[in-house]
Amino acid sequence: MSTPIIAVFAGGTSAEKEVSSASGAACAIALSRSFTTRLFPVVSESLPAGFDPGRHVVFSTLHGTFGEDGGMQRLLDAVGGAYAGCDAAASALTMDKSLTKRTVSARGVPVVQAVEFDAASKPKASEVARQLGPRVVIKPNNEGSSVGLKLADNDGAIEAALAAITAGRWIAERRIVGRELSVGILGGRALGIVEIRPKSGVYDYSSKYTAGLTEYLAPAPLDDALASRVRSAAETAFEACGCRDYARVDFMVSTENDPFLLEINTLPGMKEMSLLPMSARCAGLDFTALVREMVSPAVERFRLGTAARRP
């Protein structure tokens, strides 16, 4: 039976490439404790030099566009490459926040009321406020790590946020005031629930990646009934979107204790202190064990594919 080399893809071309590089370095070290591992820096929207689908199983830490939206996955599918995580279709679906919300809502998972729009046909601030109320969150429809996130508390702030948008597809959501939660999914099952408490009150890019600006409670201090609702919603959302192997599902819980899905991250941050590893530690998995479990289904797919190709 063929034993593959784990190829960790990191970097990429998106606004999140620095985050990806840090995730990739951490995962390569951890994976090397269980497998022969090689780190591949990705610098363009193509397969990196030296990658061999006949020898490598890909563990991608590419965040954002191209890495997380199905672009890299389609290239791997085209050459018959085995890779961990969601396939191209599920990756493309979950990268689209609006489509994700529609998909999970159809399965009964609550989502935040929203207005979708293109930069070329922006709604009036008064119309956004009429539909969603004066407190809104405005963010790109296809970015992660809170890139481009804007908050507005009145019509004037909504108008200013809309005026700054010059390109792309965007989504405005009714702002839920409450508790932000994150749940790791591994093999279709929810892990621990992490509560995120940014000191600024907003979990934006700075709060995510600047040490000391956010407090994390793992496990989150929730009553059993709410914890069960959040885990069930996370698992349902994962299945509804056709996800595979692992993901991270984020929620906002209102002051009335109603959980609303924010998004599904199919390639979340993967440093040792990132949210998915925090969630896994709540379930008894340290970082080394987590990445081993994350890549193992892809290793099995590689072995089955190798067996099928034998004469």
Q: What CATH number should be reported for the domain holding residue 130?
A: 3.30.1490.20
Catalytic annotation, pick one of 67, 71, 144, 269:
269
Round to whole Å and give the CA distance between 217 and 195: 5
Do β-strands 189-198 and 37-42 pair in parallel, antiparallel, or remain unpaired? unpaired
Catalytic annotation, pick one of 14, 16, 182, 207:
16
Model confidence, pTM:
0.90
Residue ending a domain, choose from 174, 208, 225: 174
282-291 long-range contacts (CB < 8 A, ≥24 apart) are: 282/191, 282/192, 282/193, 282/194, 282/218, 282/219, 283/184, 283/186, 283/191, 283/192, 285/186, 285/191, 287/26, 287/30, 288/30, 288/33, 288/34, 290/30, 290/186, 291/27, 291/30, 291/31, 291/34, 291/59
- CATH number, domain containing residue 296: 3.40.50.20
The tokens for 46 are 């193509």
Residue ending a domain, choose from 122, 140, 174: 174
> Are 251 and 105 within one domain?
yes
> Are 101 and 235 within one domain?
yes
Kindly report, residue by residue over 61-119, the tens digit of the pLDDT: 999 889 999 999 999 999 999 999 999 999 999 999 999 999 999 999 999 999 999 99
Share of the chain above pLDDT 70, in %: 92
3-class DSSP assignment, residue 156 = helix
Dihedral sign for Cα 290, 291, 292, 294, please. positive
Q: Is 45 among the residues known to form the active site?
A: no
Q: How many domains does the chain have?
A: 3
Task: Give the pLDDT confidence score for residue 310 in this predicted structure.
Answer: 52
Q: Is 207 among the residues known to form the active site?
A: no
Q: Is 209 among the residues known to form the active site?
A: yes
Catalytic annotation, pick one of 182, 265, 274, 279:
265
Domain ranges, residue 192: 94-110+177-285
Q: Is 263 among the residues known to form the active site?
A: yes
The DSSP call for residue 48 is: P
> Are 55 and 99 within one domain?
no
> Are 105 and 237 within one domain?
yes
> Are 100 and 225 within one domain?
yes
Q: Is 83 among the residues known to form the active site?
A: no
> Are 190 and 54 within one domain?
no
Catalytic annotation, pick one of 18, 74, 169, 209:
209
Catalytic annotation, pick one of 21, 60, 142, 145:
145
> Are 105 and 227 within one domain?
yes
Catalytic annotation, pick one of 263, 274, 279, 281:
263
Nearest residue to 280 (alpha-carbon basis) of 168, 185, 179: 185
Q: Is 250 among the residues known to form the active site?
A: yes
Kindly report, residue by residue over 172-226, the tens digit of the pLDDT: 999 998 999 999 999 999 999 999 998 766 666 566 656 677 899 999 999 999 9
Round to whole Å and give the CA distance between 92 and 141: 12
- Do residues 136 and 194 lie in contact, with contact meaning Cβ atoms separated by under 8 Å? no
In this structure, which amino acid lies at residue 227? A
